[in-house]
Chain A
Amino acid sequence: MVIVKCDRLKKRFFGRAGIVKAVDDVSLEIERAEAFGLVGESGCGKTTLGKIILGVLKPDSGNVILGTKKMQVIFQSSYNSLDPKMNISDILSEGLIIKGTGQGEIKRKVEAALDLVKLPKEALKKYPHQFSGGERQRIAVGRAVLTDPEFIVCDEPVSSLDVTIQLQILNLLKEIQKRFGITYLFISHDLRVIKFMCNRLAVMRYGKVLETGPVDYIYSNPSHPYTRSLLSSHFYDIIKNDASLKL
């Protein structure tokens, strides 16, 4: 069953260096409960596509058909995605307050989420700058799961973390997906991360999707030369790291 369907999305930006076609005629379908990967080099339009799907940006043309209203997002920079003037309690409960959830339920859910992301209760009274990058990203994950989402856009959630912390967060995200059956759009430029997390992926360049398919299939039979070059530059890394990622 399809949960997100993008139909010929286009988005241009008028920058200093002229017009940028950030998303150029993108169509794709994401199935319920899958982890759909989106890879491509920096600036190819991944974040823009994610924001269009989430409704934060309006496309110039094309449309998005959503099978759910319960969406959430986890961004790359936890520094940017958590309001520095809010304490963790306010950050975690924001989505529930917006929905008009009652006090008692908010308290119960916040505590459950804190438990899930393995942070102590004392964290609630602190502010984002008092945590490490990995802890902040766990807070962002906690905020995302709190509203019982069916679909989460993970926009390079581990790119700014070091490898051991990356693995912690990835495992946490995997566990959450297994437990709650959430659908992920998982954006990354790291093919190892995509292989670890996703079952299908789309390869993007210059705002276009070059190819889409199951991860195992594309990794062994890349049809587009660009995908092949992406893979070859990562090939040895994948072999080397696969074992460690499967720990």
Chain B
Amino acid sequence: MQEFVKNKMAVAASLFILLILIAAILAPVAATCDPSATDSRSVLTPPSKEHILGTDRLGRDIFSRTVYGARISLFIGFIAIGMAVLIGIFIGAMAGYYGGSIDTILMRFVDTMLCFPTIFLILAVISLLGPSIFNIMIVIGATNWMGIARLVRAQVLTLKERDFVAASKVMGAKDSWIILRHLIPNAIGPVLVSATLGIGGAILVESALSFLGIGVQPPTPSWGNILMDGRSTLGVAWWLTVFPGLFILFTVLSYNILGEALRDIAEPRLKR
């Protein structure tokens, strides 16, 4: 019974993710207005037929801005986590496959990175390099690969003892062949689960940075800076913060639910 409910949740989460994804990709079609078109006659109007999520203090349509914001926020989330996956797989595979001092050095590096308070690291890097979409992706990617590296290393440690690896060596395979053709394909399952869970986190970090004004810079809309925009008028126009906030909440939640459902499938032993 619980299983069923959980599956239903996962289905709902996937549908929501899909919906947002389609809206983001088709933003020019999905948006009802130009996201940066101002309109001095309809400033701070509450949700109506014309502006279903209302307008901000410049008269811009919140729904359209949210749809375009989804583009930026999801793009940053995907690319950042994609980067983290690549770095994590590379470091984890090297450490697990070669072992010895390579393993020791790489894993101490992972431990060090994990000790850093990530948000301060991000703040420091952004204030040094300046806020841009590119820098935000890099910095989120560079601070999120450690869990994946550990995961891949653990997988590789057991996989490399399997007989299909020995058979491959006997046939004259190079290390790169064994790692790319045998070890990574067999280790990728849990990595994808972890990446799905990571996307939610990455979207949150992007929103937080944009909210603090050191993320995506206006006029480019992202969920975080739409939220920040609404902050000053929170008392009179709740729709400016509530709607983008809900989008962030449900998107992050959906990725987490989907990730956990995938994990239950991939690793039934860990199921509660």
Contact = CB atoms under 8 A, between A and B. Distances in A.
A131 to B, nearest CB: 15
B19 interface: no
Most buried by B among A54, A81, A99: A81
B261 to A, nearest CB: 22
Interface string B245-261: 00000000000000000
A101 to B, nearest CB: 12
A58 to B, nearest CB: 12
B171 A94 contact: yes
Interface in B151-165: 162-164
A85 interface: yes
B171 A80 contact: no
Contacts, number: 56
A227 interface: no
B173 A98 contact: yes
Nearest to B172: A98
Contacts of A140: 167
A81 B166 CA distance: 8
A85 B164 CA distance: 11
Contact of B163 (A72, A77, A86, A147): A77
Nearest to A155: B163
Interface in A45-83: 51, 54-56, 71-73, 75, 77, 80-83
Interface in A139-185: 140, 143, 147
B164 A55 contact: no
B241 to A, nearest CB: 47
Given A99-B172, A147-B171, A73 B186 contact: no
A239 to B, nearest CB: 34
Given A84-B186, A85-B185, A98-B177, A56 B170 contact: yes
A80 B170 contact: no
A51 B166 contact: yes
A143 B167 contact: yes
B164 A81 contact: yes
B170 A73 contact: yes
A227 to B, nearest CB: 29
B185 A75 contact: no
B186 A85 contact: yes
A163 B176 CA distance: 40
A113 B182 CA distance: 22
B171 A72 contact: yes
Contacts of A75: 163, 166-167
B217 interface: no
Contacts of B167: 73, 75, 81, 140, 143
Given A81-B163, A81-B164, A56 B169 contact: yes
Interface in B114-159: none
Contacts of A147: 171
B185 A73 contact: no
Interface in A1-39: none
A71 B167 CA distance: 10
Interface of A: 51, 54-56, 71-73, 75, 77, 80-86, 94-95, 98-99, 140, 143, 147
21 contacts: A54-B169, A56-B170, A73-B166, A75-B163, A75-B167, A80-B164, A81-B164, A81-B166, A83-B164, A83-B182, A83-B186, A84-B186, A85-B182, A85-B186, A86-B181, A94-B171, A95-B172, A98-B171, A98-B174, A98-B177, A143-B167
Interface of B: 162-164, 166-174, 177, 181-182, 185-186
Q: Pick the 8 closest A-B CB pairs, nearest first.
A: A95-B171, A81-B163, A80-B163, A85-B185, A75-B163, A83-B164, A73-B170, A56-B166
Given A83-B181, A143-B167, 15 more contacts: A73-B166, A80-B162, A80-B164, A81-B166, A82-B164, A83-B186, A85-B182, A86-B185, A94-B168, A94-B181, A95-B172, A98-B171, A98-B172, A98-B173, A99-B172
